[in-house]
A = this chain, B = another copy of it.
Amino acid sequence: MNIDKFVDSLKFDSNGLIPAVVQDAENNEVLMVAYMNRESVKRTLTEGRTCFWSRSRQKFWIKGETSGNIQVVKGFYIDCDKDCIVVKVQQTGAACHEGYRSCFFRQVDSEGNETIVGEKLMESY
């Protein structure tokens, strides 16, 4: 299958985006969730490094381009509805801009109490 044909087969939302769950290829920890547009999907697949569309900055974004915390693609998966992506990666350093290995560093209990459970590797970036 041609790469453009694959990208055409995806269901992007009304903003032209599709959510991507980024998972550590070694231990399957979920590191972050971000959004891809057509170009990000294509470049993530063909270049083997994750890239996204930043909704807050409204720009194309290669993960780790400024921080050095890049993500090398080890596996790319698509769900039944073709409206969500999972990317397994080899993560360099912290995936989270707050310096944690994973963005999901807070656990919440049944009463709504939050506890920090994640591993902090560095200061915020």
Question: What is A's interface to B at a CB cutoff of 8 Å?
Answer: 1-7, 19, 21, 23, 27-30, 32-33, 45-46, 48, 75-81, 84, 86, 96-98, 100, 103-114, 117
Name the residue in A23, A33, A78 with the highest tally of chain B Cβ atoms < 10 Å from its Cβ. A33
Contacts of A7 in B (CB 8 A): 112
Q: List 6 A-B contacts (CB under 8 A).
A: A28-B28, A45-B109, A75-B107, A80-B98, A80-B103, A86-B104
Contacts of A4 in B (CB 8 A): 112
A97 and B80 in contact (CB under 8 A), knowing A1-B113, A1-B114, A86-B104? yes
Name the residue in A80, A100, A109 with the highest tally of chain B Cβ atoms < 10 Å from its Cβ. A80
| Bound Cα distance A79, B112 (Å) | 14
| Bound Cα distance A75, B4 (Å) | 38
**Residue pair A108, B28 in contact (C-beta under 8 Å):** no
**Residue pair A110, B46 in contact (C-beta under 8 Å):** yes
Listed from nearest, the 6 A-B pairs whose CB atoms lie closest are: A6-B112, A28-B28, A3-B112, A79-B103, A77-B104, A33-B84
**Residue pair B75, A45 in contact (C-beta under 8 Å):** no
Q: Which residue of B lies closest to A73 (CB)?
A: B110
